[in-house]
Structure 1
Amino acid sequence: MHNLADLHDINIDSSPPISPLASQSVLPTHQLSDTPLANQSGEDDQDLLSDSDQLLSTELTSSPGIAFQMTPGPTSTSRKRPGEDLTQFSELVAREKKLKADEKTALLKFTKRSEAERSVIMYSEVLQLTSFMRTLTPPEVVFSIPEGLKKRIDNACFESLTEHSAAAYVTNDVPVNVVVAKLKESSFVEKITRDDKGAWDAVTSRVRAKLSDQRYLIKTAILESMFASKPKKKKGNLVEPWVPVPRESPLTILDTCVAVVNVHKAAKVKTSVELCVRVAFLRHILHKFPTIADYWELIDRELASARSKHTEPKHLSKFFVKVLEMDKKEFGEVEISNE
């Protein structure tokens, strides 16, 4: 208990003392009274707030025991954040995509570029790819040969190979050109226009393939007329070296002609004296060179040689008739007629 006399020594104001910060934050009374309230615009309010904020910032940063760091504003200067290192990720992607060494190097270099540089590089690649795509032409629609036309092509090929006056069998694509020209004149293919390149390419391709198949079958039929065995092939190659063994009873030229005609019965080619003469010539060369690889090329050369030596048609006919007589003596006499 205090005495009444002691009350003079006690501060009856129990409110806490005003801190220096609070005392400095209070604006002088004369500043408020000098400015009429009616004239305080929004701009004046902003000035007052700005002054107050500046003063508060000074006190906070200078007061002991207070740790406060102001965040830089949009216009302040700060250090640029270093780019993320994508080296390990790039190497991982390169392995997953199985990139080549030079492609991996290019990818790593690309990751070191700035974002703006990457955008420019990627857009340049897009432009380059677009330019390349313009140079590409869409594949042409493959012409599907009707079944009826396929049969006509096959027959025309065989008719060409069994023509007794054929000029060549393989040289300079002569038989291919002959068959295609014949087809173009045929009413059977009148639906195909002459300028339809895709259609005629498909037709020509089949002509070439069928001529090759039929030449092989004709050669085989002639070989079998003289020899007891024929070469064994697998995928076009000889399985083992072929040794021709002569037949005990070789076929006559007429029977050989029948065997050749039966290679493609659908063509309905008939045996004739002229055809027997040509088959005798084919057999004469094959009998001399039964294992030759370029048989049909040799036939073309021999035909060209005969034409150059016998320029007159009658002399050329005598030459082929002589070959037929030799065949009869070698493989058996037989009467031939066109009946």
Structure 2
Amino acid sequence: LFVCMLSVENKIDAFRSAAPPYQLSEELKTNINNYSVAVMLSVNVSAYKGGVPRNHVLDILKRYRFDLPPGIEHDLANWEKISAYVSYALTQTRSKVKKAIRESIKANTNIFTLSQAIVQSTPCRTTVQLCARVALMRAIHEECNGGEKYWNLIDARLEFIRSRAGSSASKMAKAFNEVLRLDRAKYGADDEYIIGDTITDEWQQRVDEVVAGTSDT
């Protein structure tokens, strides 16, 4: 019996040694790319850099699994590969958004058109709340001329707004509405457009719930 057990263990070890290193599938990369955009565009996200958005995307992966191998989050080496790709996807998203905002300032693009361009090819809808978030991004870009600390400055401003509003959702909304009002008065002021009272897409709602920590487990 002991000899048989050793034989089985040796076969398992040989199988593990022969197995190719784990690589992210293209399907998983696509899901990570899409959910990275959704997290960055969430009206509930508290920071755009660092561990906050990355952990939100990883939480979504753990929740919906996609084609993740069972228990891979407990395999630190392979989970790090996934985490690294999430960080990469978020970096690419930030770069695209920043570029769109920079070009919108030069072109005097109204906030609705800018927000539509940012959510293009995603299920996200151009809501008032989303436009207000994008307006804040544009305001900070103008202040720092899109410098290296751009996203850090946005995160700092978000923290300032939250600290001033406390637990009051109405105060938060009022602060963002003011940012949006100033943006509309400055960019594309002569354009005729309406930011409708659009309901967030169900897909984005699920992301917002995870980001806010209100989703069912």
Please classify the TM superposition score into its range, dividing by the shorter chain length: 0.7 to 0.9
Q: Is the 8 A contact 2:102 2:146 kept in 1?
A: no
2:37 is aligned, of 133, 147, 158, to: 158
Bigger Cα Rg: 1
2:92 is aligned, of 205, 213, 220, to: 213
More RCO (CA 8 Å, sep 6+): 2
Q: Which residue of 2 aligns with 1:180?
A: 58
Q: Which residue of 2 aligns with 1:21?
A: none
Listed as ranges, the matches of 1:1-339 within 5 Å are 142-171=21-50, 173-193=51-71, 194-227=73-106, 247=107, 250-262=108-120, 265=121, 267-311=122-166, 312-333=168-189, 334-337=193-196, 338=198
Distance 2:175 2:146 in 1: 25
Measure how far apart 1:141 and its partner are: 6.1
Question: Relative to total residues, which structure has the larger helix share, 1 or 2?
Answer: 2
Measure how far apart 1:190 and its partner are: 4.9
Unpaired segments ≥5 residues, structure 2:
1-16, 200-217
Distance 2:154 2:115 in 1: 17
Q: Which residue of 1 aligns with 2:215?
A: none
3-state DSSP class of the match of 2:178?
helix
3-state DSSP class of the match of 1:155?
helix
Per the normalisation by structure 2, the TM-score is: 0.76
Q: Is the 8 A contact 1:143 1:198 kept in 2?
A: no
Measure how far apart 1:147 and its partner are: 1.1
Q: Considering only aligned residues, what root-mean-square deviation do their CA atoms show, in Å? A: 1.9
Query: How much identity, in percent, do the aligned residues show?
Result: 29
**Runs (4+) of structure 1 moved beyond 6 Å?**
none
Measure how far apart 1:332 and its partner are: 2.8
3-state DSSP class of the match of 1:168?
coil
3-state DSSP class of the match of 1:167?
coil
Deviations, residues 217-274 of structure 1 (Å, cap 9, x unaligned): 10000110111xxxxxxxxxxxxxxxxxxx4xx1100001011113xx2x32221111
Q: Is the 8 A contact 1:164 1:277 kept in 2?
A: no
Measure how far apart 1:301 and its partner are: 0.6
Measure how far apart 1:191 and its partner are: 3.0
Distance 2:161 2:53 in 1: 19
Letter in 1 for 2:111: I
Measure how far apart 1:310 and its partner are: 1.3
Deviations, residues 114-136 of structure 1 (Å, cap 9, x unaligned): xxxxxxxxxxxxxxxxxxxxxxx
Measure how far apart 1:183 and its partner are: 0.5
Per the normalisation by structure 1, the TM-score is: 0.49
CA spacing shift, 1:283–1:291, aligned 2, 3 Å: closer
